[in-house]
Structure 1
Amino acid sequence: MIVSILGGTGDQGPGMAMRWAKAGIEVIIGSRQQEKAVGVAAELNQELGQELIKGMANPEAAAASDIVAITVPFSAHKPTLESVKDHVQGKILIDVCVPLDPDNVRKMKYPEAGSATQEAQALLGDEVKVVAAFQNVSATELRHLEHDIDCDVLVCGNDRGARETVMELVEKMGMTPVDAGLAYNAPIVEGLTAVLIGLNIRNKVKGSGIRITGLP
């Protein structure tokens, strides 16, 4: 399995890449600028002590992978998806983006489609299996490879098989996945990010997360 992370040079991408690479998954960091992707990949490989991660421009990264994750800021969500649309057909796309209000990141500013996940599905078409995941995981915690992350990961999307595949990828990172159902739940999953940001600010922490209780 090859996983690419579009916008992987930002906050969440590097930690996701390193955790998947340590689990034995081939990872490609994507960026609008190939040089930036190659540079970040080299830095992460040096930190890992092995050449496990490659860097490419976003379209080439999407074309070369089996599963694509997108971690760009929401302002770049639609243009990035448009740039890789032809390269993700028939694949799973993990949407990590959150439509936060740029004027107040403790609030949401949902797109017309209802959520980033639903926007991606509408833009890419039915041949792409869009799954929401990792929105509620701290980027700071992702980079702390020396310990497991103390939070669950809500996973939602319209294709059950795609959700199960993404849940397996969550487990490889050392976290517990929770099947959160169909994509109409994505606004709730994405909205929890704004709640967590507010908790971080009020409690002067960086890594608050969620835990689902009462499940078998």
Structure 2
Amino acid sequence: MLTSYTIAVIGGTGPQGKGLGYRFARHGHTVVLGSRSAEKAVPVAEEVAARLTGVDGAGAVSGAANAEAVAQADVVLLAVPWDGHDELVGSLDLAGKTVISCVNPLAFDKRGAHGAVVDAGEGSAAEHAQQLAPEATVVGAFHNVSAVHLWGEYDYLDEDVLVVGDVVEAKQVAQDLAVAVTSRRGIDAGKLRLARVLEPLTAVLISVNRKYKVNSGLRISGLEGIER
């Protein structure tokens, strides 16, 4: 039996945050969708809760201003745009929390999507979050999961969640939460610095989606029968 968490989703009114919040609550976790104002968060939480009507074992979903959402939670998911990321994360009291970043610093031009260069290539959104909240434990996960599929009618997504971080216990929290999305635990993919690879990889998936008119994801082969 996996642990049940109370999760604050910061950026919970956006497609990625709302979709992940829905998946977590569907699997029995308590979810607080955070936004800059409770007035914006509450209607989205009501939309998610309404969709969970009749789902056995679903967790409660509520909406709150970001600071209040964080105060209620054991786990904080950052699903916010890169623009304004540092200001927002720096304003939150994340001390003692397990923080999961799925933030993707991306840029777009006439040639399509590409990864924004962070700290001359030696940084990432997840690492920025850890620097801004040194008393929290930050991991990176859920970067490459399609928001369209998260809010879709699928029971589970046929893909894997890659988790990076420097603290095993914190990575295990994100691996547990991946079960709500894919029906299997996430994959421990290494240290937090590898978020520098995972975050811009989303641009590759965007390119695939544009070419083939799909919503693609990642699946890692060779792990069948291996405990994660």
* Secondary structure of residue in 1 paired with 2:9: strand
- For the aligned residues, what is the CA RMSD? 1.6
Take 1:115 and 1:39, find their aligned partners in 2: how far apart are those partners? 32
Summarize deviations over 1:153-190 as a string: whole Å, max 9, x none: 10001111100111011113334411011111111111
Q: Partner residue of 1:65?
A: 73
1:111 partner amino acid: V
Q: Which has the higher helix share?
A: 1
8 Å contact 2:158–2:182 — kept in the other structure? no
**Shift, 1:102, TM fit:** 4.5
Summarize deviations over 1:8-67 as a string: whole Å, max 9, x none: 100111111111111111100000121010111111111222782100001110111010
Can you give the 5+ residue segments of structure 1 that lack an aligned partner in the other structure?
Answer: none
Take 1:179 and 1:44, find their aligned partners in 2: how far apart are those partners? 29
2:140 partner amino acid: A
1:33 aligns with 2:37: yes
Q: Partner residue of 1:186?
A: 195
2:207 partner amino acid: G
Q: 1:203 aligns with which of 202, 212, 217?
A: 212
Q: 1:6 aligns with which of 4, 10, 16?
A: 10
**Shift, 1:123, TM fit:** 1.3
Take 1:185 and 1:175, find their aligned partners in 2: how far apart are those partners? 24
Can you give the 5+ residue segments of structure 2 that lack an aligned partner in the other structure?
Answer: none
Q: Partner residue of 1:106?
A: 113
**Shift, 1:76, TM fit:** 2.6
Q: How does 1:42-191 map to 2 (within 5 A)?
A: 42-49=46-53, 52-84=60-92, 87-103=93-109, 106-112=113-119, 114-125=123-134, 127-176=135-184, 177-191=186-200
* Secondary structure of residue in 1 paired with 2:104: coil
1:151 partner amino acid: E
**Shift, 1:150, TM fit:** 1.2
8 Å contact 1:19–1:145 — kept in the other structure? no
| TM-score normalized with structure 2 length | 0.88
8 Å contact 2:9–2:79 — kept in the other structure? yes
* Secondary structure of residue in 1 paired with 2:117: coil
Take 1:123 and 1:8, find their aligned partners in 2: how far apart are those partners? 20
Take 2:107 and 2:143, find their aligned partners in 1: how far apart are those partners? 15
Take 2:84 and 2:151, find their aligned partners in 1: how far apart are those partners? 23
Take 1:208 and 1:146, find their aligned partners in 2: how far apart are those partners? 14
